[in-house]
Amino acid sequence: PETITVQELANRMAERGGNVIKTLMKLGVMATINQVIDADTAELVVEEFGHKIKRVSDADVEIGLVAGPDSDAEKSTRPPVVTVMGHVDHGKTSLLDAMRESDVVSGEAGGITQHIGAYQVKLATGARITFIDTPGHAAFTAMRARGAEVTDIVVLVVAANDGIMPQTIEAIRHAQAAKVPMIVAINKIDLPEADTQKVRTELLQHEVVVEEMGGDVQTVEVSAKKRMNLERLEEAILLQAELLDLKANENRAAEGAVIEAKMERGRGSVATVLIQRGTLRVGDTFVCGKEWGRVRALDNERGERLEEAGPATPVEVLGFNGTPEAGDDFIVVEDEAKAREVSGYRQRKDRETQFVKSARGSMEQMFERI
């Protein structure tokens, strides 16, 4: 059933909440400002105020929020977004750190100064690669569970001395389920006990057919520790990206997904957003999950202020009215009214879902006791 809170109804009519409550009393309905009333009651109140009624169904609020697909002519090539996965201690963090050092920009500017959950490296050739800096499949699945599909390529790290382990298999399953192409980085080849051939054979048992065995999965033998073959891995990523023909329209309102979000003292709610299409600018009004806001500032991983951020760029956004969650969508809207409408609708819907869940929970508890 369609519902609305008294506050929201007052907002939409641009009337005082107190006057709405009074009108409700006149109609024989006792309600507080945060109370939810049904659409029929709301309609009576609107008539009492002499406003025109325009019933907007729930779905209408979301319709058109995300624009349709861009035409090929509007799109241009964008950098790939890469997630590193693999078994614990196989070298995910070491590899991410090693790749980060190949960034020519941070080399000049004094390195990456803050962790924002994702970063972009610019290679000597000018090519760029975006890495999600929260390795592990937990983050990957959490994002996917919320409908965010940000990863273009998975780099599966397998230690050559250890081979395929349980979390390697899980990572393979996740990449396969998400239909995201994989590149295998066979790590720790500096160790004497490294057996890269064994890794390739074991992969075959999990339906990962590497190029050397007639398949199309690239493998690169690396050592994160000794910084061996990192360029080759980057080349493999860029080759895969070329095959995927990754493109986005940068000349439109920005859309993206939250990589991570937190509440920071002095800065308020901040979130790292990966822009997926369009360009985000300071001053833009946005909806993000159940929250909304207006971009007050944009920071990159080097702590530099940006005026704008385009496709595949991870950027820390300030100006949220509440803290979103990883995997939430991020959509620039035309004005504050639209942002409030969507966020209000989503919060209401969320409350209803929570209510149903807790009601169901207590029913189950009741039955348990019987």
Determine if residue 133 is labeled as part of a ligand binding site: yes
Nearest to 221 by CA among 8, 211, 335: 211
What's the closest the beta carbon of residue 228 comes to ligand GDP, in angstroms?
8
Q: Is 132 in the site for ligand GDP (CB under 6 A)?
A: no
Choice between 93 and 201, CB closer to Mg ion: 93
Contact status, residue 209 vs residue 172, Cβ threshold 8 Å: no
Determine if residue 51 is labeled as part of a ligand binding site: no
Q: b or e along 237-249 (b: 16 or more beta carbons within 10 Å of the residue's beta carbon)?
A: bbebbeeeebebb
For residue 300, give the 3-state DSSP assignment. coil
**Near ligand GDP in 27-86, by CB under 6 A:** 86
Determine if residue 93 is labeled as part of a ligand binding site: yes
Nearest to 295 by CA among 317, 266, 272, 275: 317
Choice between 90 and 340, CB closer to ligand GDP: 90
Choice between 82 and 275, CB closer to Mg ion: 82
Report the partner that residue 137 touches, choosing among ligand GDP, Mg ion, none (CB closer than 5 to 8 A by kind). Answer: none
Q: Is 187 in the site for ligand GDP (CB under 6 A)?
A: yes
Report the partner that residue 89 touches, choosing among ligand GDP, Mg ion, none (CB closer than 5 to 8 A by kind). Answer: ligand GDP
Choice between 191 and 282, CB closer to ligand GDP: 191
Q: Is 230 in the site for ligand GDP (CB under 6 A)?
A: no
Choice between 230 and 248, CB closer to ligand GDP: 230
Contact status, residue 45 vs residue 27, Cβ threshold 8 Å: yes
Q: Is 93 in the site for Mg ion (CB under 5 A)?
A: yes
Q: Is 313 in the site for ligand GDP (CB under 6 A)?
A: no
Nearest to 221 by CA among 208, 206, 210: 210
CA distances from 345 to 56, 269, 317, 330, 348 (A): 11, 21, 23, 15, 5
Determine if residue 86 is labeled as part of a ligand binding site: yes
**Near ligand GDP in 87-116, by CB under 6 A:** 88-94
Q: What is residue 69's DSSP assignment?
A: P
Q: Is 11 in the site for Mg ion (CB under 5 A)?
A: no
Report the partner that residue 187 touches, choosing among ligand GDP, Mg ion, none (CB closer than 5 to 8 A by kind). Answer: ligand GDP
Q: b or e along 305-329 (b: 16 or more beta carbons within 10 Å of the residue's beta carbon)?
A: eeebbbbbbbbbbbbbebbbebbbb
* CA distance linking residue 71 with residue 249, whole number of Å: 8
Q: Is 308 in the site for ligand GDP (CB under 6 A)?
A: no
Q: b or e along 70-109 (b: 16 or more beta carbons within 10 Å of the residue's beta carbon)?
A: beeeebeebbbbbbbbbbeebbbebbbebbbebbeebeee
Report the partner that residue 219 touches, choosing among Mg ion, ligand GDP, none (CB closer than 5 to 8 A by kind). Answer: none
Instruction: Point out which residues bind Mg ion (CB under 5 A).
Output: 92-93
Instruction: Point out which residues bind ligand GDP (CB under 6 A).
Output: 86, 88-94, 135, 187-188, 190-191, 223-225
Residue ranges for the binding site for GTP? 86-93, 133-137, 187-190
